Amino acid sequence: MKVNCMNKRKLQIGVIGDSQIRSDLQYKIAYEIGQEIAHSGSILICGGRGGVMLAATKGAYDAKGISIGILPAGVEDEELSPYLTVRIPTFLHWGRNPLVVLASEGVIACGGNIGTLSELAYAALYDRPIVCITSIPGWSQEIGERGSLQNPPVSEQIYHAETGIEAVKKIIEVISTSK
Amino acid sequence: MKVNCMNKRKLQIGVIGDSQIRSDLQYKIAYEIGQEIAHSGSILICGGRGGVMLAATKGAYDAKGISIGILPAGVEDEELSPYLTVRIPTFLHWGRNPLVVLASEGVIACGGNIGTLSELAYAALYDRPIVCITSIPGWSQEIGERGSLQNPPVSEQIYHAETGIEAVKKIIEVISTSK
Amino acid sequence: MKVNCMNKRKLQIGVIGDSQIRSDLQYKIAYEIGQEIAHSGSILICGGRGGVMLAATKGAYDAKGISIGILPAGVEDEELSPYLTVRIPTFLHWGRNPLVVLASEGVIACGGNIGTLSELAYAALYDRPIVCITSIPGWSQEIGERGSLQNPPVSEQIYHAETGIEAVKKIIEVISTSK
Amino acid sequence: MKVNCMNKRKLQIGVIGDSQIRSDLQYKIAYEIGQEIAHSGSILICGGRGGVMLAATKGAYDAKGISIGILPAGVEDEELSPYLTVRIPTFLHWGRNPLVVLASEGVIACGGNIGTLSELAYAALYDRPIVCITSIPGWSQEIGERGSLQNPPVSEQIYHAETGIEAVKKIIEVISTSK
């Protein structure tokens, strides 16, 4: 009964970060991440709302890619990105953060405050590889430079990148080699 | 900032029912539901495992459609349908049932036992239209004939159908007119 | 390291039903359930809000008992019962329903509409014994008379009672013998 | 209808940290935290398992206090603390971490690795005051010294303490003045 259709499945890559953009550079990098995920033929996973999520889903949208939003409430939400291909309402409030990470085979963090920190911690709990953008202030920079979420730090699956294209190439490489 | 990309979004239709097939007819109808969802250009949402879910995702797969599985645990699961296009692990155990319904703009029930009953109740709680297959024994038949999940029963969004094709046409019609 | 403190632990008994009282009799029975749970030295578990929950927690409160509310959002909630000893906010919306049942070693249903139906289905999924009050209209009556949540019905852990006192005695007996 | 029973409600104080004890000092402080929570007449909230949770619940138990465990799965769990007064199974896996924090009006962190980091981030997301034990290595020390979970850091509700008694006094003071 079981057949192998796995080889046709697209990679699912998560993008996390601030829900309000802090700088033009952050917008540019987040957009580039979404665009590059689409160009690679992968699916973008995110929390489906503003800031880094909006920029990344717009990047994916413009490149004809697929993006999926795991939403904190329903679709009646003023902050919803209009660029989502699929919307998954959860009504779990912040409790949806672990689901964003779980739906991703690997995660790229771009800036980010306490919501992003919760997602980074969950990525470590659920063994998802992480690429942190270190050129953008926020938890992605601090954890990227620290090199670990473990405490005390141990060498593990925290990678870092300066640009969106570099980040996507890295996470695809890490996911592919860990399979 | 807000643009209208909504008109290009595909409908998301949930399929729920027994995790073990009870009869050839149930398999045939579940398969047909998945096939028809794909033919209509919609996305199939389900719990991602065996029985009705497996049959429906195979139907969608054979018809080159997209199906999304909201999983109770991770992807290391012997009962996982191999026909899923996108897999959303949750590690919420039975707690993922409400999410299957929430990710669906309308739900088709085909047979089903207590897990399906929990999803039907959640579909009513979250105001998702429901089509119950009444030709298959289980909660879809009993609730389809009862005509309501409310208690005492009131006329509401419970529709019924005999075949898979009829069920998909009905749920698309109901979702489309309720928008 | 492991010591046996188990024998001192109080039973945890769930009470579910309409969030708005339908009749004086329903209020009376729900109040009596809470009172009798307290008299038995058990802990009352519920969703922490109005209707049957309010009546039962008032019964427990007046009898100097302990009640715990598993809340759909936070404690800033106009519908919160003021009689709760412990409040567990979840911000999981209706997603908290399975948790009410899981926190209970056995469940008493008193009336109830679709929210209660979701909890009854979850009680069956998680193997919690159930006593349904059949003297009050709603899902407790219909499922109590049906005698099963399985479909097709099988003889299982659905018990029924006419009064609150009878219901509490029955659920304590069932929980105690199943240990 | 609404009456004021609030003034009799006990404080609910969360204790988080490593699920395996790292040092005798950590055990001693965690035990002391539980003991002091009990002496203050408050309720101890935790994840209900080993390490810091076990030590703290033993402290509360020896001092005749009440402790509540919000469990990742069910009660059939070898790592469960035997000192819990109330057990709340959730079957949400790591997804129960936000619930531990939400059930607490304030949180004390004692050491801790990635699970604790996820809980600290959620405490900030849900505006729960935090006291970090800085005499124990782990995220409680690092975040306690950083003084903030925000990024960039801002002065907020992160307090620190060296001993268990000091930590409990501080969190009670902070919760009481913030009401």
User: Which residues from chain C sit within 8 angstroms of residue A94, using beta carbons?
Assistant: 91
Q: Does the distance separating the beta carbons of B5 and A87 come in below 8 Å?
A: no
The sheet carrying B12-17 orders its strands as B86-89, B66-71, B43-46, B12-17, B106-110, B130-133, B158-161
Q: In the structure, what pLDDT confidence band is assigned to residue C123 with cuts at 50, 70 and 90?
A: very high
Contact D102 C5 (CB under 8 A): no
Confidence of residue A151 (pLDDT cuts 50, 70, 90): very high
What pLDDT is attached to residue D156? 66
pLDDT value at C141 more than 50: yes
Total H helices, total E strands in chain D: 6, 7
H or E element, residue A25: helix A24-39
- Tracing tokens 């796995």 back to the chain, one arrives at A6
Task: Report the DSSP beta bridge partners of residue C45.
Answer: C14, C68
Q: How far apart are the first and last CA of chain D?
A: 23
pLDDT tens for each residue of A54-66:
999 999 999 999 9
Work out the angle between the directed axes of helices B24-39 and B52-62 (0-180°, nearest 10).
40
ipTM summary value: 0.95
Q: How confident is the model at residue A133 (pLDDT cuts 50, 70, 90)?
A: very high
Which residues are within 8 A (CB) of B156 and not within 5 positions of it... i.e. 6 or more apart? Answer: B124, B148, B149, B150
Give which of A91, A94, A96, A99 to mutate to test C binding, by max C Cβ within 10 Å.
Answer: A91
For D100, the token pair is 């531990």
Between A121, A138, A139, which is nearest D118 by CB? A121
**Binary contact (C9, D83; C-beta < 8 A):** no
Torsion of CA A106, A110, A116, A122, to 10 degrees: 20
**Nearest CA to CA, how far is A139 from chain B (Å)?**
24
User: Does residue C150 contact residue C125 with C-beta atoms inside 8 Å?
Assistant: no
Residue B4: predicted pLDDT: 42
Angle at C74 between CA C72 and CA C75, to 5 degrees: 115
Q: Which residues of B touch C (CB under 8 A)?
A: 94-95, 98, 112-115, 117-118, 121-122, 124-126, 137-139, 142, 149-152
Strand partners for D14: D45, D107
Is residue C8 very low, low, confident or very high in pLDDT (cuts 50, 70, 90)? confident
Query: Measuring CA to CA, which residue among D120, D109, D13 is closest to residue D68?
Result: D13
C47-85 burial, b at 16+ Cβ within 10 Å, e below that, comes to bbbbbbbbbbbbbbbebebbbbbbbbbeeebebbbebbb
Please, where are the H alpha helices in D50-158?
52-62, 97-102, 114-125, 139-146
Q: Is the pLDDT of residue D2 over 60?
A: no
Query: In this predicted model, what pLDDT tens digit does every residue of D79-125 receive, in sequence order?
Result: 999 999 999 999 999 999 999 999 999 999 999 999 999 999 999 99
| Contacting subunits of C (3+ beta carbon pairs below 8 A) | A, B, D
Burial of C174 (0-12, 13-18, 19+ CB in 10 A): middle
**Cα Rg of chain A, angstroms:** 15
What residues of D are in the C interface, CB distance below 8 Å?
Answer: 1-6, 9-10, 12, 43, 54, 61, 68, 70, 74, 82-91, 98-99, 102-103, 126
Task: Provide the token pair at D110.
Answer: 């004692």
Dihedral sign for Cα C68, C70, C73, C79, please: negative
**Beta-bridge partner residues of C107:** C14, C130
pLDDT band, very low/low/confident/very high, at B42 (cuts 50, 70, 90): very high
Residue C79's pLDDT band, with cuts at 50, 70 and 90, is very high
